């Protein structure tokens, strides 16, 4: 259908639109350029030799292994908690729900160091101090997982809550009328419909756990070959003036972040086209 020439915007209007869009692109492009420049600076500063020597270091290899294990366990724990919370917050209305909603956002808005300090103070309470005599947590590997979990789980909860809100309760109601229990409707209808959201929540939780530094530094310390993960490796290498190793480890974390973003973008494209890529 041809557009009536009389309804076309005036030339002056089209020109002002171009200037407006150009100004927006300039403002946004400044930030994009800064991001690209920081990544390029790391890449140009590091040589393959630096990366190889970093990977040959026993301390860094231990940090990589511990990071992979702790982030994976943190992700599983986050999903174990985030799935029921996200579901209940979207399906059940109860007194104090707004307060609980605000409480769940505390790990997102609090400074990371405060979370670590709060965990440290919590485990100074007599019951937990007695527990640590049998099962050490503070300044041990379990403290790393707990510190990562405190922050990563909040992001998983937000993601899964948004996912469950997009799933119509009508599907559950149909399953209930057909004789399913609430649990059966959840496992057979709701959870399969939320699988893409669960994968997105798991990916975000894993990435957030990988980059966690403040709570781990306060609650777990940065002991070589014990509680050292990749973010604390960067800190330790910088503290001894080994800038090349610090940048090399940073690039490893950048590569992991890019991989996570590709997974998330793949999920978004899959949702847009309605089929897996």
The confidence score (pLDDT) of residue 88 equals 92
pLDDT tens-digit series, residues 110-126:
888 899 999 999 998 88
Listed residue (207, 235, 206, 205) closest to 220, CA to CA: 235
pLDDT tens-digit series, residues 27-73:
889 999 998 898 888 888 878 887 888 888 888 899 999 999 999 99
CATH topology of domain 64-229: MetI-like fold (1.10.3720)
Per-domain residue ranges of the chain: 64-229
Residue 108's Cα: distance from chain center in Å? 11
What is the rounded CA–CA span in Å between residue 277 and residue 274?
A: 9
On the CB side of 14, CA atoms within 13 Å amount to 5
What confidence category does residue 81 fall into, taking pLDDT thresholds of 50, 70 and 90? very high
pLDDT top residue among 16 and 129: 129
What is the rounded CA–CA span in Å between residue 69 and residue 75?
A: 10
The confidence score (pLDDT) of residue 7 equals 56
Give percent above pLDDT 90 in the chain. Answer: 35
Contact 104, 154 (CB under 8 A): yes
Take residue 252 and report the two structure tokens written for it: 């490893």
What is the rounded CA–CA span in Å between residue 148 and residue 104?
A: 15
Q: Is 34 exposed, middle or buried (0-12, 13-18, 19+ CB in 10 A)?
A: exposed
pTM above 0.85, yes or no: no
């Amino acid at each position: 259908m041809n557009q009536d020439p009389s309804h076309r915007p005036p030339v002056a209007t089209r020109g002002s639109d171009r200037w407006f869009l150009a100004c927006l692109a300039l403002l946004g492009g400044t930030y994009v350029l800064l991001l690209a420049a920081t990544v390029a600076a790391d890449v140009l500063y590091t040589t393959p030799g630096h990366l190889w020597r970093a990977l040959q270091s026993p301390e860094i290899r231990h940090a990589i292994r511990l990071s992979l294990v702790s982030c994976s366990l943190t992700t599983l724990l986050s999903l174990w908690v985030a799935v029921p919370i996200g579901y209940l917050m979207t399906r059940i209305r109860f007194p104090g729900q707004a307060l609980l909603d605000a409480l769940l956002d505390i790990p997102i808005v609090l400074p990371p160091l405060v979370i670590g300090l709060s965990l440290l103070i919590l485990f100074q309470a007599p019951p937990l101090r007695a527990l640590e005599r049998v099962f050490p947590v503070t300044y041990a590997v379990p403290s790393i997982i707990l510190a990562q979990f405190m922050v990563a789980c909040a992001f998983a909860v937000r993601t899964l809550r948004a996912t469950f809100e997009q799933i119509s309760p009508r599907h559950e109601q149909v399953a209930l009328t057909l004789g399913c229990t609430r649990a059966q409707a959840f496992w057979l209808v709701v959870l399969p419909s939320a699988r893409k959201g669960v994968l997105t929540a798991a990916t975000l939780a894993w990435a957030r756990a990988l980059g966690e530094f403040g709570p781990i530094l306060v609650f777990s310390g940065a002991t070589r070959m014990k509680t050292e993960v990749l973010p604390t490796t960067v800190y330790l290498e910088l503290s001894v003036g080994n800038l090349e190793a610090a940048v090399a480890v940073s690039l490893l974390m950048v590569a992991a972040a890019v991989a996570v973003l590709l997974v998330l973008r793949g999920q978004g494209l899959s949702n847009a086209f309605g089929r897996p890529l």
